[in-house]
Structure 1
């Protein structure tokens, strides 16, 4: 069986930057520990916007510039970077995405793992936006893959929206681990 970990948007702006939350800050150590100890392949996503963010549909709905390419807020959190450097897992690809879900991630996973027995674990931010989007896109690309979301290694915009997203994922046959 192939084992994969997908790290969703563990970037500075979502942790302690322009869209950071206490809950996001609280998962960093656990996420770093999971990455360090993971045996398998690691993939990830990077929310990536440009200076014209406020002119996009997302920017008009959420008028808070964040994850601007090349700025400090766009970078992976330093504890996550250190964990990636320390892991013995094979770090494959981190895909830039300009919206909630990554088509590139889904295409990579489908190309490499279609027809194989695969278990894909997810952690990251934000449960109720980018985590749920990417998990459901991967479910569509690899419907027979076992998908696991680590609830304690994810954080939502609010604790309530985090729980709502986890409940929706359960209904879509995704395993939720605490």
Structure 2
């Protein structure tokens, strides 16, 4: 069985920066502990990546809060998490979900009889759910799991709604 971990957007701006929440701050140690359970060659992480013209983009018009601009402190992965991720594959993404990540996981798991892909990170209700659905679409027979103790949403209510959505799309929430 091939078991992979995907760590979504554990960046400063989502933890204690422009879009940070106390719930995001509270999961950092859980995320580090989860990362330490996996071999480094079985870990992928994403980094939300925007440019200086973010407010001119469609996303910027819907969410007019500048965040995760490449090269800024807010774009960087949280220091504790970054240390745990040393040696992992990091994928920069310009939008909620990463088709590139789904493709990488597909090619990583070709020929495997059983595949489990666990997702953790931020934000449950935007980027975690988007990537879970993309991965499940690309690898329909993979067991896609989400650990809610290692995720946080924009609000606790939207976090719970996203977990329900992922369950409905045949992801395992445990």
Q: TM-score, normalised by structure 2?
A: 0.96
Give SS of 1:26's match: helix
Mapping of residues 6-25 of structure 1, within 5 Å: 6-25=6-25
Query: Is the 1:114–1:142 Cα contact (8 Å) retained in structure 2?
Result: no
Structure 2, unmatched stretches of 5+, are: none
Query: Is the 1:122–1:148 Cα contact (8 Å) retained in structure 2?
Result: yes
Aligned to 1:74: 75
Aligned residues: 172
Aligned to 1:30: 30
Aligned to 2:103: 107
1:59 aligns with 2:60: yes
1:167 aligns with 2:164: yes
1:140 aligns with 2:152: no
CA RMSD of aligned residues (A): 1.1
Aligned to 1:157: 154
1:44 aligns with 2:40: no
Deviations along 1:86-143, whole A, 9 cap, x unmatched?
Answer: xxxx62x211111100011011111221342211001000000000000000000000
Query: Is the 1:8–1:131 Cα contact (8 Å) retained in structure 2?
Result: yes
1:98 aligns with 2:99: no
Give SS of 1:25's match: helix
Q: Post-superposition shift, 1:82?
A: 1.7
Give SS of 1:73's match: coil
Runs of 4+ in 1 over 3 A off after TM superposition: none
Give SS of 2:95's match: coil
- Within the candidate set 123, 126, 132, 2:123 is matched to 126
